Amino acid sequence: MKKFRLYGKIRNAESGKGIPGLIIEVKDADLFIDEVIGTAKTGRGGSFSINFPPSQFLPAYREKPDIYLSVKSPSGKLIASTRNALKPDVERNTEINVDIPRQIRIAASLEKEKPLLSSNPAGKSKKMAAWTFLSDKTGQTSLMQQVQEDLCGKRSILELLKQYMDELYLNPDNNAVQFDKLMEIFRSGVTPEAIEGHVYGVWMFFRTGDQEEPFSPIGNILQVLLGTTLDAQCPWVGKTFTSLSSSQIDSITEGGITPGQRVFRAVNHFRKMDRQIPNNLAFQLFDVWNGLDDAPPDEQKKFGHHKNGGYIIAVKGPSIYPKTEREVFILNYRWKNLANKPPLCWLIDEVVQIAEGLYLGQILSATRRLLRPYDPARPPADYEYQTFGYFLMFSEDWNTEAQRLFPFLDIPSI
């Protein structure tokens, strides 16, 4: 059995300085279970070194392992993974360096958020840190008090939600507390009267359903798989909403929506991701799976997305999800005349406004009667909808803040 050394440095992404005291887990990747085959801590300069094969993990060790790193904070919180940049069949000395961005360091309590600069417009900061909650939601629940504490020191509510995203990135816990916090925020938001025109957006995170189904006991497979494949990037970057006439509504829903309501048709926008192999394959999967079309050149130039697909009928109405019994803005992919393919034709998203121009959406999917035509008159309970994640949308007033927090959006106007 060949011996080799795995070494590297965990660095501050902005300054390049090493980060001491972090826990390094070296893992051997497999199809279903990744084995830990070595551990170390970063030294004063952020460096680490492990000799292989390590005798203490010999039962899990095999020759030519497919190696990646999991980097954890001193408290054991996962803050980075290199699984998307796997080192296959390692049998010689190998170097792996990992850069940790500022927002992840802050979320992991490795450093504190700096106070707002005086150049930030005070009015804008107050607006972006102000919830728009229902009048009977006073924020006095224990969960909401935790959320308010989490918001302290943040420049905006969007930054808080980015923190939750970072905390859940590659997190295998299908019942993490962040899901409960998002549910509480969703219950408290106001129902928008309308969403019109183009809005940017990001997926927050996914979960493997929310009930005691076969996948639940083994954790949040969906978030781990998609997080690994997408590498903390997001191919979906927003939607465009267009108001419909009564005749257009009838032609799509065949009388399935009560007359007199404001109804919108929406389409999703996707961007091509960095040309890394996992990301490129992921985009090709979305392209083929969801039947994406090339976006018109003027849209690509103005908004930065490359593909359109996944059509929606949007209207106010009661939530179909039993844990959020309230009025919401419904984004329904299920109407047959929209011609969406599985899995889109099983989805209904629901949206509330949580700050001025900032919207939180929950992703709901039917888990029963998937092979039968969608019947809008059938009680939602018959379809057993479950939550499979959350997403954000925001008006152009948030573009600068969104670009700061999500550089991959590459908003042309910023």
* 179: exposed, middle or buried (Cβ count in 10 Å: 0-12, 13-18, 19+): buried
Distance of alpha carbon 89 from alpha carbon 299, whole angstroms: 44
Q: What's residue 126's pLDDT? A: 81
Distance of alpha carbon 159 from alpha carbon 401, whole angstroms: 8
Distance of alpha carbon 202 from alpha carbon 163, whole angstroms: 14
List Cα–Cα distances, 125 to 42, 122, 149, 162, in angstroms. 37, 5, 17, 16
Domain assignments of the chain as residue spans, ordered by start: 4-104, 123-409
- Radius of gyration of the chain from its Cα atoms, rounded to whole angstroms: 23
Q: What's residue 249's pLDDT? A: 95
Q: What's residue 108's pLDDT? A: 81
Q: Are 104 and 15 in contact (CB under 8 A)?
A: no
Q: What's residue 206's pLDDT? A: 65
Render pLDDT for 245-284 as a digit per residue (tens, 0 to 9): 999 999 999 989 988 899 999 999 988 754 443 444 454 5
Return phi, psi of residue 352, to 5°. Answer: -130, 160
Render pLDDT for 316-357 as a digit per residue (tens, 0 to 9): 999 999 999 999 999 999 999 999 988 889 999 999 999 999
Contacts of 301 (CB under 8 A, 6+ apart): 412
Distance of alpha carbon 302 from alpha carbon 411, whole angstroms: 9
163, two tokens? 């923190």
Class of domain 4-104: mainly beta
Q: What's residue 414's pLDDT? A: 63
Q: Are strands 4-12 and 94-95 parallel, antiparallel or unpaired?
A: parallel
Distance of alpha carbon 393 from alpha carbon 3, whole angstroms: 51
Q: What's residue 97's pLDDT? A: 94
Q: What's residue 210's pLDDT? A: 66
Contacts of 216 (CB under 8 A, 6+ apart): 174, 208, 209, 210
Phi-psi group of 394: left, alpha or beta (phi > 0 → left; psi -120 to 50 → alpha; rest → beta): beta
Nearest to 239 by CA among 206, 266, 263, 211: 266
* 282: exposed, middle or buried (Cβ count in 10 Å: 0-12, 13-18, 19+): buried
Q: What's residue 278's pLDDT? A: 45
Q: What's residue 349's pLDDT? A: 96
List Cα–Cα distances, 402 to 16, 189, 358, 396, in angstroms. 24, 20, 11, 9
Distance of alpha carbon 177 from alpha carbon 194, whole angstroms: 31
Q: What's residue 59's pLDDT? A: 52
258, two tokens? 């009560």
> Could you say which residues of the chain have pLDDT below 70?
1, 31-32, 54-62, 113-125, 136-140, 169-174, 206-233, 273-290, 413-414
**Strand order in 78-81's β-sheet?**
35-41, 23-28, 67-72, 78-81
Q: What's residue 220's pLDDT? A: 39
Q: What's residue 408's pLDDT? A: 76
Nearest to 44 by CA among 9, 7, 82, 6: 9
